[in-house]
Amino acid sequence: MAHAFRRRPDGSLACRLDGEEKAILTQVAQETADLIRADLGIDAERDVLRRAAESEDPLRRLEAEFAGRDAREPSDSAVKRLFPAASEDPGLAAEYRRLGQQDLADGKLADLRTVMQVLDATGGGHSEIVVDDAGAMSMLRALNDVRIVLADRLGLERDGDFDTVRMLQQIGERVEGMERSGDEEHVSSDIVIAVYELLSWLQESLLRALD
């Protein structure tokens, strides 16, 4: 069972999570990172551009330089929430993406990677999670990004709407006589809701410890 974050005498922040909770957090962090990379085409494009930039052909190097300035517009609804358009003007929005989207994506992926590394370093059983202030800020940003993705999958318009989440759980518990396929979907939604609540509680706990 999870225990809230607290400030330790040495200035670090610590909480306790069991093995299943750590595995869930690692999985959703990895899936969020994979979603960002896939939707924005980060890994595939970087590999192609790297080879072109290292080419002996000056035209290929020039093409790589200009291609590297482009930024793919998100197509997944959750990734659109993570990388919203900076302007209602399509031209300005595209320019903002070209100038800043890659740096923003790099930062989000780095935060998610930090969370996975911190969790992985503690092993598989019930253990203490310890972070310094910089690690805590990375964890806060990563938890928020994962929650945004889950909120999108749950159809929540307002991120952090706990009342809506609990209402969805209660409705699901009261539904009877479902067909098997519908029942599997209901179980899947319950799992997403439970993970969403765990992330929300952990983020709030970390914020309080930082304050």
Q: What is the pLDDT of residues 103-162, one digit of tens each?
A: 999 999 999 999 999 999 998 888 999 999 999 999 999 999 999 999 998 888 765 565
Amino acid at 147: R
* Total tally of structural domains belonging to the chain: 1
Helix (H) or strand (E) holding 158: none
Distance (Å, whole) CA 195 – CA 211:
24
Q: Looking at 4-18, 31-45, 173-187, 196-210, which range is the least confident one?
A: 173-187
Q: Count the neighbouring beta carbons within 10 Å of the beta carbon of residue 112.
A: 26
Residue 29: pLDDT band by 50, 70, 90 thresholds? very high
Question: In angstroms, how far is the first alpha carbon of the chain from the final one?
Answer: 24
Q: Which residues of 140-167 are buried (b: 16+ CB within 10 A; e: fewer)?
A: bbbbbbbbbbbbbeeebeeeeeeebbee
Task: Show the domain range for 176.
Answer: 3-210
